[in-house]
Structure 1
Amino acid sequence: MPPSASASYPSSGARPPRQSVVARRRAAQDRFGALPFTSDEALAAGLSRSDLDSADVRRLFRGVFVDARVQVGHGLRCVAAVRRCGEGARISRLDAALLWGLPAPWSEGVSVSIPASRDVRGAGLVVHRHLRNSKTSSVWVPSVRLRLPTTAPVDLVRECLPRLSLVDVVVLADAVLRLPGVEPESARASWSSSGAGPGRARDLVRLVDAGAESAMESRLRVLLLLAGLPQPDAQFEVVACGRRRRLDLAFPDLKIAIEYDGDHHYVTEAQKHADIEREMSLRTEGWEVIRVVSHGIYRDPAGTVKAVAAALERRGRSVRLSDGWRPHFRQLA
């Protein structure tokens, strides 16, 4: 235990040198390293109330602090939020999704779920009760080198269902289905019984697919389905010119491949060459290849829908397009 402040002061009551005050504070703060601490822990370590109000200490939430030298990121704020909310608290909703590495938008405040028996409030926190029949899991957060309690991934989709757009929640659910240990049928059953409204839950279960390997592939598939096009196969494997290929989306019976090209496809000449070689091999085997970039989802979704519909019709599949995609995708081009 560091000496008390009075023990280092001259008996005359004169203020101690600034250097000694800083040294005492840092000696106490070093006990906590880069992790948050409560006011009670701070006082027990030798910090004073005035120390907690100083520039050497940063307040994260009411009664929870961190050394001002520490860079505060999302993981650290989540640790502090759990410390603030106490026993039974867990990170929830979009913040839990981000901790799990799932595709989710940022939100203001840290969402924390607490037991019904507790009542916690505070600036910077979005506190709510545990969702009925939901479970707690934990995830390793590298930035703080700790496991943090969160709403279980399947249940956090239920938490987010009434708060995200339909497309965003499908993107999230697709990613959850790819997590180790998640049973797709069990997850779908849980989501279909969600209290977020039967229509919304039904749409989610209809649109979700564990096959997509990226958020943009999920968005592309949802666009096509909402436009009334048939369900494509995700990550379909085909042998073309003696090499096994995996297609983002495909209509295998019609030999139509739909490939989403992210920015990395245009970074190096080697990647460009590989994409050209891949497309040529597919065309040699009779496949029609449609390439889509982010522009075709965020700015010209209508163009993407028309391109896929035209390919289906060329291969003998009649389609009846729907405007069901328009409330969910913006046409800017």
Structure 2
Amino acid sequence: MLRGVHVQDCVDDTLRMRCAAALLVLPQGAVFSHETAARLWGGVVPSRSRVQVTVPYARPIRRPELEARRARRMPPALRLRGLPVTGPERTFLDLATRLDLVDLVVLGDSLVRARRTTPELLVEQARQHRGPRAALARRAAALVRSGVDSPMETRLRLLVVLAGLPEPVVNHVLRDENGGWTYRFDLSWPQVKLALEYDGRQHSEDSRQWVRDVRRREDLDGRGWRLLVALSVDVFGTPGATVDRVAVALRQRGLVVRTSDGWRGHFPSRG
């Protein structure tokens, strides 16, 4: 697992197991932090090959498998399945120094989905934060929402919002005449019956799913709803065209909207 630390080969090589192995060589008081802490809490962050840990300043550690930071004032630690870990809110604030705005909101949304924190608590903690890039932490916390199902839904929502368009409702539920649940939209503007969804599936390989989607579209058309579908390329490849599609659809639905270039620094076009 680490140099000088071994485990039977029948044991799964998981992040938690690597952290348990690291505890055998770390100084007393060490705390798992940053991306490692985020992943332990169920958050979504960019992948890192090494385990991130914060250690007391007087107890330096040099191991190639670990990314250790020395701190004169150690962050408070919580116990998570026996591991000392920075809390969800502290982890969010720490990663403001390493992540950009979009990835930080992805982390916040995922922590909320994992029921480790709430948008309100992140906003409160970020407001009190005086550390590096505190302004970024406050801006990201204000954009975290409950009910987001995936990182790509977060990215799609932020693309729309940073372009200056009205913020869509997350997970709006469409009900039938008896109040029963019929559809749930990733993102929508219920007041004008426009929905926007991210689709990461390969429908060309699933004819039954394709048929279900065709029937769903017909049903929504009958209810007066319009459904826009975004793919991965629409977010990562041609974000400008995606902004234009959404803006045109909103205008066709009667909203007066203007777009800005605020998305460009966060969604570089590749197509």
Distance 2:74 2:146 in 1: 23
Q: Tell me the residue number matched to 2:125.
A: 190
How big is the alpha-carbon RMSD for the aligned residues of Structure 1 and Structure 2? 2.5
Structure-2 change in CA distance of 1:166 and 1:265 (3 Å): farther
Which residue identity does 1:262 align to in structure 2? G
Contact 2:126 2:134 survives alignment (8 Å): no
Q: Tell me the residue number matched to 2:62.
A: 121
Give the drift of 1:82. Answer: 2.2
Contact 2:56 2:72 survives alignment (8 Å): no
The reply on whether 1:66 has 2:1 as its aligned counterpart is no
Give the aligned length: 267
Distance 1:243 1:179 in 2: 24
SS in 1 for 2:136: helix
Counterparts in 2 of 1:192-271, with a 5 A limit?
Answer: 192-194=127-129, 195-239=131-175, 244-263=182-201, 267-271=205-209
Give the drift of 1:176. Answer: 1.1
Contact 2:43 2:114 survives alignment (8 Å): no
With a CA cutoff of 8 Å and minimum separation of 6, indicate the structure with the bigger relative contact order. 2
Query: TM-score scaled to structure 2, two decimals?
Result: 0.88
Distance 1:130 1:273 in 2: 57
- Whichever of the two has the greater Rg, that structure is 1
Contact 1:95 1:110 survives alignment (8 Å): yes
Counterparts in 2 of 1:70-89, with a 5 A limit?
Answer: 72-89=13-30
Structure-2 change in CA distance of 1:158 and 1:132 (3 Å): farther
Q: Tell me the residue number matched to 2:244.
A: 306
Which residue identity does 1:313 align to in structure 2? R
Query: TM-score scaled to structure 1, two decimals?
Result: 0.72
- 5+ residue gaps, structure 1, are 1-35, 37-59, 141-146
Give the drift of 1:96. Answer: 1.9
Give the drift of 1:274. Answer: 2.4
Give the drift of 1:214. Answer: 0.7
Aligned with residue 161 of structure 1, among 79, 87, 96: 96
SS in 1 for 2:25: helix
SS in 2 for 1:263: coil
SS in 2 for 1:65: coil
SS in 1 for 2:164: coil
- 5+ residue gaps, structure 2, are none
Give the drift of 1:330. Answer: 2.0
Distance 2:140 2:202 in 1: 30
Structure-2 change in CA distance of 1:133 and 1:92 (3 Å): closer
Q: Tell me the residue number matched to 2:51.
A: 110
What percentage of residue pairs aligned between the two structures are identical?
35
Give the drift of 1:137. Answer: 2.9
